[in-house]
């Protein structure tokens, strides 16, 4: 059954996970395989696999939270990729980040916007990229 | 035109604003009418009136951000009311808060859950309330 | 096996949990039994049940984290009780909070000190209480 | 000389400290006299006694920082009193808090505004108070 | 009139804005011209253009807030340049950052000091730079 | 006696301080020798030199606090070195960081884990490093 949380986690991740997310998980392997297992089991096996919110909405609230925290740029990068993979439009992601200027302030919103920009450019989704 | 941002802000607020939100705005009147005006104009006139995200999604990402910040209990209370007014189900709101345990930690998620609980109880939306 | 994480969580909690902690868990029951289950399973079943750090040290680093976050007063109260139940001395707890003045600033450290004070007084552990 | 840092701290505090600040210091006495001593010695003896910024500016940047942190309401209350004692006008204090809506977001700025309001009312400095 | 908020914003920015600030605004152009417009209109058109605090004080409280947040290094860099452009002395800026060790902790104050150092060095304002 | 706080600070630092910590102190010298002096005197002379907690525990609660803050990567790096110098095992440090996923969220815990990983690799303490 612990195996099954792990499996459920991988299954949930399967459709959305990006290279950026993969990279974060891989970095954990030699320092703490237990932590890598927990990342699959708790966030993905226990939370993201739940019904009640679709994956697109889960990505948008995650982007809202990461923008508010301010410091987690790698996770924001991974979830911007994941959000696009899950079918969020770039306009929706930009809109979420812009709204965070109200709740978390402009420095948080601007820094997040630049991370999103980097992801959009890397996927050829900005007009001049 | 400044009037029109203000009007646009009030119009946006009109459908969703709760007594709890009203109370916050009213509290500003004697200390800083300019701040009260800015709250209508910038968050509501400039941001919430934008297309690109529906009001329900805007409420859910706001709840995600306020849960992450941890301290703004009155605003979370107001936006829980607003989210319900905008058509979010209690299950969706609870799901957003629960997911924040992953990104902002359990203390943030638990404290937000208790604010949401208080709102749901006040509206007779919990079975034992 | 999910049951067993839950059981492991309760077993871990059993020796240290305080009325304050119990109160927090009870408050979740009607709004989100799933969240109550997750609190037992992840923090206690997955993390606190691990070897590698004794419970006293786990309580002290939790108090450090909660002091740093600043806003979670109820959780800090519960963990101050739990820390005392686990065998931490009041002097050790005070020392942790005092050191947080360096890393999280004096407002965080002072607010935490007043929560600790309230707990110590309620247990008759302050000379004038 | 440690005494002299302590004395320097008290001297610095002497002109500005409010009942609200006094209350915070008094609350430390029985739980941690060492912490009470450190509050006088480091913030006031080492920092606030320095040249290079006048006390009014020191109060305004402190109010900016406390507003940004969001959670320390008692300290913000004390420093609003101290700022007024040091000669800051209520307009200046309100202006600082309002500007924090840009950097720390509206929830932080609004919550701080309500603390400032409470202080101004208690001193009869609001028109309808 | 919206134009006029925009113009007022640019006028306010005109005397103080630095290459570092310009760079941040330019980075927004292709991802979100609306966000670029909002940055001029709300922070600069609505807030910084207000009377009641001089620009030097507005820069110092901004530096206090950014130091407290901890993560926004690019914005702190820009505002350190802007503060110097507005007539703040390097000693005043250093003093603000140092005082933040009391309210936001030493890690926040030290990290901000290193950003300020980088700016001062780039302008030849440190003796060994 | 101020000299003696400074000396006490250096003595406390002597057994544990790492090149990473030294580098931080050195960076302060030209921008603010007073700040460098305060770092020795307050955190180390006043706090870390106290009895009541051993140095290993002081390092672990510092790592908990820095992980929770999220942004101070250089300080976390320095204290990971210091913790190892003070006799903490890599397993203990990893366990502290992992537990922070509960209180500060996974982004904070993951980012801290990657800083710890970098330190362990630089000391040849990871199997594949």
Give me the DSSP letters along D79-122. HHHHHHHTT--HHHHHHHHHHHHHHT-HHHHHHHHHHHHHHHHH
Q: Say what the pLDDT of residue B128 is.
A: 64
- Given E1, E42, E50, which is nearest B46 (Cβ)? E42
Give the tens place of pLDDT for each residue, D44-77. Answer: 999 999 999 999 999 999 999 999 999 999 999 9
ipTM: 0.95
Query: Do residue B30 and residue D128 have CB atoms under 8 angstroms apart?
Result: yes
- Given B48, B52, B100, which is nearest A91 (Cβ)? B52
Average pLDDT taken over every residue of chain D: 93
Confidence check: pLDDT of A129 > 80: no
Minimal C-alpha gap between F72 and chain A (Å)? 9
Q: Say what the pLDDT of residue D16 is.
A: 85
Give the chain A residue whose CA is nearest to the CA of C69: A69
Q: Say what the pLDDT of residue D40 is.
A: 93
A94-110 mean pLDDT: 98
- Find the chain D residues whose C-beta atoms sit closer than 8 A to any C-beta of F: 1-2, 4-5, 34, 38, 41-42, 46, 50
Residue numbers in C near B116 (CB within 8 A):
31
Residue numbers in F near E105 (CB within 8 A):
69
Confidence check: pLDDT of A126 > 50: yes
Give the tens place of pLDDT for each residue, C20-79. Answer: 888 888 999 999 999 999 999 999 999 999 999 999 999 999 999 999 999 999 999 999
Q: Say what the pLDDT of residue D1 is.
A: 47
Q: Say what the pLDDT of residue C1 is.
A: 47
- Given B1, B46, B50, which is nearest E1 (Cβ)? B1
How far out from the chain centre does Cα F113 lie? Answer: 14
Query: Do residue B102 and residue F102 have CB atoms under 8 angstroms apart?
Result: no
Tokens of C92: 């050790």
Query: Do residue E105 and residue C107 have CB atoms under 8 angstroms apart?
Result: no
Assign F1 a pLDDT band (cuts: 50, 70, 90). Answer: very low
Radius of gyration (Cα) for chain C, nearest Å? 15
Contact C71/D70 with Cβ under 8 angstroms? yes
Long-range pairs for E91-96: beta carbons < 8 A, 24 or more residues apart? E91/D52, E92/D52, E92/D53, E92/D57, E92/E60, E93/E60, E93/E63, E94/D52, E94/F31, E94/F32, E94/F35, E95/D50, E95/D52, E95/D53, E96/D53, E96/D61, E96/E60, E96/E63, E96/E64, E96/E67
Least confident of D8-17, E55-64, F69-78: D8-17
Contact D69/E104 with Cβ under 8 angstroms? yes
Residue E53 is given by DSSP the state S
Please, which chains are in contact with B (at least 3 CB pairs closer than 8 A)? A, C, D, E, F
Assign F93 a pLDDT band (cuts: 50, 70, 90). Answer: very high
Give the chain A residue whose CA is nearest to the CA of D104: A105
Confidence check: pLDDT of C2 > 60: no
* % helix, strand, coil for chain F, step of 5: 75, 0, 25
Q: What's the CA gap between D71 and D115, in Å, rounded?
A: 11
Q: What's the CA gap between E58 and D51, in Å, rounded?
A: 20
Rounded (5°) CA angle B17-D68-D16 = 120
Give the tens place of pLDDT for each residue, A52-68. Answer: 999 999 999 999 999 99
Residue C29 is given by DSSP the state T
At the topology level of CATH, where does A53-129 sit?
A: AhpD-like (1.20.1290)
Give the chain B residue whose CA is nearest to the CA of C75: B107
Q: Say what the pLDDT of residue F78 is.
A: 96
Q: Say what the pLDDT of residue F27 is.
A: 94
Q: What's the CA gap between D104 and D106, in Å, rounded?
A: 7
Least confident of B85-99, D9-23, E34-48: D9-23
- Find the chain D residues whose C-beta atoms sit closer than 8 A to any C-beta of C: 24, 27-28, 30-32, 34-35, 38-39, 42-43, 66, 69-72, 74-75
User: Backbone dihedral region of D100: left (phi > 0), alpha (psi from -120 to 50 degrees) or beta?
Assistant: alpha
Q: What's the CA gap between E67 and E110, in Å, rounded?
A: 9
Alpha helices in chain E (DSSP H): 2-14, 19-28, 33-39, 55-69, 73-85, 90-103, 106-122
Give the chain C residue whose CA is nearest to the CA of A69: C69
Residue in the structure block whose two tokens are 């030209």: F30
- Given F71, F111, F126, which is nearest A31 (Cβ)? F126
Q: What's the CA gap between C89 and F52, in Å, rounded?
A: 10
Q: What's the CA gap between F79 and F13, in Å, rounded?
A: 11
Residue numbers in D near E91 (CB within 8 A):
52
A104-111 mean pLDDT: 98
- Given A1, A34, A42, which is nearest C1 (Cβ)? A1
Query: Do residue C35 and residue B108 have CB atoms under 8 angstroms apart?
Result: no
Assign E61 a pLDDT band (cuts: 50, 70, 90). Answer: very high
Residue numbers in D near E96 (CB within 8 A):
53, 61
CA nearest to A109, candidates B104, D106, B9: D106
Least confident of C7-11, C100-104, E105-109: C7-11
Q: Say what the pLDDT of residue B113 is.
A: 98
C78-92 mean pLDDT: 97
How far out from the chain centre does Cα D41 lie? Answer: 16
Number of C-beta neighbours around residue B52 at 10 A: 16
Tokens of B37: 């005006």
Query: Do residue D105 and residue A107 have CB atoms under 8 angstroms apart?
Result: no
Please report which helix (H) or strand (E) contains residue D125, including its range: none
Q: Given CATH 1.20.1290.10, say whether it is the number of domain B52-129.
A: yes
Share of chain D above pLDDT 90, in %: 80
Q: What's the CA gap between D94 and B30, in Å, rounded?
A: 12
- A29 burial via Cβ count (<10 Å: 0-12, 13-18, 19+): exposed
CB proximity list for E114: less than 8 A, separation 6 or greater:
F27
Assign A3 a pLDDT band (cuts: 50, 70, 90). Answer: low
* Segments of chain B scoring below 70 in pLDDT: 1-3, 128-129
Share of chain E above pLDDT 70, in %: 96
Give the tens place of pLDDT for each residue, E72-102. Answer: 999 999 999 999 999 999 999 999 999 999 9
Give the chain C residue whose CA is nearest to the CA of B127: C30
Sign of the Cα pseudo-torsion (E104, E106, E107, E113, in order): positive
Residue numbers in B near C62 (CB within 8 A):
none
Confidence check: pLDDT of F25 > 80: yes
Residue numbers in D near B35 (CB within 8 A):
94, 98, 101, 109-110, 113
D54-124 has which CATH code? 1.20.1290.10
Query: Do residue A52 and residue B91 have CB atoms under 8 angstroms apart?
Result: yes
Q: Say what the pLDDT of residue B1 is.
A: 47
CA nearest to C96, candidates C107, C78, C82, C80: C80
Contact A100/B69 with Cβ under 8 angstroms? no
State residue F46 phi and psi, 5-degree precision. -90, -40
Average pLDDT taken over every residue of chain E: 93
Residue B58: C-alpha distances to residues B13, B93, D40, F112, F117 (Å): 12, 12, 46, 31, 38
- Given E71, E107, E117, which is nearest F27 (Cβ)? E117
Residue numbers in B near A57 (CB within 8 A):
57, 60, 92
Q: Say what the pLDDT of residue F22 is.
A: 87
- Given C27, C43, C66, which is nearest B114 (Cβ)? C27
Q: What's the CA gap between B70 and B108, in Å, rounded?
A: 5
Contact D33/D26 with Cβ under 8 angstroms? no
Residue numbers in E near B2 (CB within 8 A):
1, 5
Number of C-beta neighbours around residue A77 at 10 A: 21
Number of C-beta neighbours around residue E124 at 10 A: 8
Query: Do residue B128 and residue C75 have CB atoms under 8 angstroms apart?
Result: no
Minimal C-alpha gap between F30 and chain A (Å)? 28
Confidence check: pLDDT of E1 > 50: no
CB proximity list for A53: less than 8 A, separation 6 or greater:
A61, B92, B95, B96, B99
3-state SS, A26-70, equals HHHCCCCHHHHHHHHHHHHHHHHCCCCCCHHHHHHHHHHHHHHHC
Contact E43/E51 with Cβ under 8 angstroms? no
Residue D17: C-alpha distances to residues D75, D79, E96 (Å): 12, 8, 20
Residue A5: C-alpha distances to residues A23, A39, C86, F10, F111 (Å): 21, 11, 31, 50, 24
Domain parsing of chain B, residue ranges = 1-50, 52-129
Radius of gyration (Cα) for chain D, nearest Å? 15
How far out from the chain centre does Cα A72 lie? Answer: 10
User: Backbone dihedral region of B124: left (phi > 0), alpha (psi from -120 to 50 degrees) or beta?
Assistant: left
């Amino acid at each position: 059954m612990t195996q099954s949380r792990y499996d459920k986690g991988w299954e949930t991740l399967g459709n959305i996970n990006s290279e950026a997310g993969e990279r974060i998980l891989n970095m954990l392997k030699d320092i703490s395989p237990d932590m890598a297992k927990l990342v699959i089991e708790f966030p993905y096996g226990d939370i993201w696999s739940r019904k009640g919110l679709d994956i697109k909405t889960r990505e948008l609230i995650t982007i809202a939270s990461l923008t508010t925290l301010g410091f987690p740029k790698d996770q924001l990068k991974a979830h911007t990729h994941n959000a696009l993979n899950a079918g969020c439009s770039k306009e929706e992601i930009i809109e979420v980040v812009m709204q965070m200027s109200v709740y978390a302030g402009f420095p948080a919103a601007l820094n997040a916007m630049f991370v999103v920009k980097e992801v959009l450019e890397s996927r050829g989704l900005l007009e001049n990229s």
